[in-house]
Amino acid sequence: MDVYKITGGKPLRGSIKVSGAKNSAVALIPASILADSLVTIEGLPEISDVVTLQALLEDIGGKVEFNKGTMTIDPTEMMSMPLPNGNVKKLRASYYMMGAMLGRFKHAVIGLPGGCHLGPRPIDQHIKGFEALGAKVTNEHGAIYLRAEELRGAKIYLDVISVGATINIMLAAVLAKGRTTIENAAKEPEIIDVATLLSNMGAKIKGAGTNVIRIDGVEKLHGTKHTIIPDRIEAGTFMIMAAAAGDGVTIDNVIPFHVEALTAKLREMGVDIVEGEEQIFIPKSRNLQAVDVKTLVYPGFPTDLQQPFSVLLSQAAGPSVITDTVYSARFKHIDELTRMNADARVEGRSAILAGPTPLQAATVRASDLRAGAALVIAGLIADGVTEVQEIQHIERGYSSLIEKLQGIGADIRKVSISKEAIVGE
Ligand code: EPU
């Protein structure tokens, strides 16, 4: 069993580079199914979610090469093979195989997607969209069956603003007959990235990045080459680390506009932020002030940074309340932070923290991806050696985290320990 061992208190200094966006990657890779020739995607993060999606494409007959962040996908011999559990269960984004396979083959059988446990995560809006396009969707023995004679464009109003449903409906609609309109669509940069790839494959999409997206179906899509956008959540995680433990850190390969909600909150706390075109510099922070935060859909404060940000709030003077309006149960890290001496508690959809409290090293468990990132930040500022267990969650979403952090002076190592040493087992 691998764990991270972090010796806290080392000041972080220098430059750290952000990888390609995980939440784009997990949609761009399935989107390649819709093409009739080679699709090349450059700048992909080297994370286990990407490797799992590669395996899923291979499961349906795709020929895939993945080397140094560049994936080349030959979709010509893909077939609509059933994808039961196994790989599908390893990540939530396997739901994008539904939209892409439905779009290309008008037929798909896929196990229910897995992913982080953050409270209920239904996919009713995805299914509502597929049905509006003419698909029959049934749940049989734990797998979703999608079948359509043909897909026809439709007007779809999303009852909940959902990144996944917006992208999945785009994937299913690009080869449908006629016009599809998605109203109340999500506006995340990852949606624009997927629309850019699809447009370069020959799709007709207008309005990606606004709350109304119009798609005019085309007969076929061809291969293309695409460079992914930088990961705004990884960038945000590094910004929070720099504010918590930095002594002058430059975050490289970031689009400052994509992290504006975080930048605004950090400034409100008293953190200096110097924005360049593709860099953000954060000098050493002093006298952090408490703030209240509410997560919202983009361009609001991202739920994916709620857990890392709460660690910073434990170091700010005064009481802070952080409320997650997107996920009801994304607070499993709070128990672990209290084991490290944070003054924190959960009340409903909010975590209430009081600071500043010096953190003490402990053995803690990452319950999910961003909880893991939060515990790494806590370890970097805690007194002593923190052991973070269940790091497979972290490696689903952060590319070369150990090497990147070592590069700015962190004392963090990955070590193997025996199974008996795992907390609670
Ligand atoms: N929702 C529904 N019905 C649906 C879809 C969503 O009720 O059919 C609800 C969800 O339960 C949630 C909210 O709508 O309360 C937002 O869900 P959304 O569909 O936007 O989330 P997602 O597509 O499942 C993506 C990211 C998440 C990120 C959210 C919100 C991917 C693969 N995942 O999830 O990323 O938290 O958008 O921004 O893109 C992460 O990276 O750690 C992560 C969890």
CATH number of residue 67's parent domain: 3.65.10.10
* Pocket around ligand 1 at a 6 A CB cut-off: 23, 26, 92-93, 116, 120-126, 160, 162-165, 186, 233, 303-304, 326-327, 369-370, 397
Pocket test for ligand 1, best of 130, 163, 182, 297 (most atoms within 8 A of CB): 163
Shared-domain flag, residues 10 and 27: no
Tens of pLDDT, residues 198-212: 999 999 999 999 999
pLDDT at 173 over 50: yes
The atom number, within ligand 1, closest to the CA of 95 reads: 32
Q: Could you say which of 204, 227, 250 is where a domain stops?
A: 227
Residue 213 forms beta bridges with which residues?
182
pLDDT at 425 over 50: no
pLDDT at 10 over 50: yes
pLDDT the model gives residue 122: 87
Number of domains in the chain: 2
| C-alpha 397 – ligand 1 centre gap (Å) | 15
pLDDT at 229 over 50: yes
Shared-domain flag, residues 289 and 401: yes
Shared-domain flag, residues 259 and 406: yes
Shared-domain flag, residues 155 and 107: yes
Q: Determine the Cα angle at 405 with ends 400 and 407, to 5°.
A: 100
User: Annotated binding site: which residue ranges?
Assistant: 22-23, 92, 121-125, 304, 326
Pocket test for ligand 1, best of 162, 190, 211, 324 (most atoms within 8 A of CB): 162
**Cα–Cα dist 384/377, whole Å:** 13
- The arithmetic mean of pLDDT across residues 318-338, rounded, is 96
| C-alpha 163 – ligand 1 centre gap (Å) | 6
Shared-domain flag, residues 31 and 12: no
| C-alpha 420 – ligand 1 centre gap (Å) | 35
Shared-domain flag, residues 264 and 383: yes
pLDDT at 382 over 90: yes
* Residue-averaged pLDDT of the chain: 95
Tens of pLDDT, residues 351-372: 999 999 999 999 999 999 999 9
pLDDT at 420 over 70: no
**Cα–Cα dist 101/103, whole Å:** 5
Q: Could you say which of 195, 227, 259 is where a domain stops?
A: 227
Range of the domain at 244: 2-19+230-421
- Catalytic residue chosen out of the listed positions 6, 27, 41, 116: 116
Q: Could you say which of 202, 227, 252 is where a domain stops?
A: 227
Shared-domain flag, residues 146 and 176: yes
Task: Report the chain's terminal Cα–Cα distance, integer Å.
Answer: 12
Tens of pLDDT, residues 242-280: 999 999 999 999 999 999 999 999 999 999 999 999 999
Shared-domain flag, residues 330 and 216: no
Shared-domain flag, residues 168 and 43: yes
Shared-domain flag, residues 183 and 252: no
pLDDT the model gives residue 118: 65
Shared-domain flag, residues 160 and 216: yes
Tens of pLDDT, residues 118-141: 666 789 999 999 999 999 999 988
pLDDT at 182 over 70: yes
Q: How many CB atoms lie within 10 A of CB 262?
A: 26
The atom number, within ligand 1, closest to the CA of 164 reads: 23
Shared-domain flag, residues 140 and 186: yes
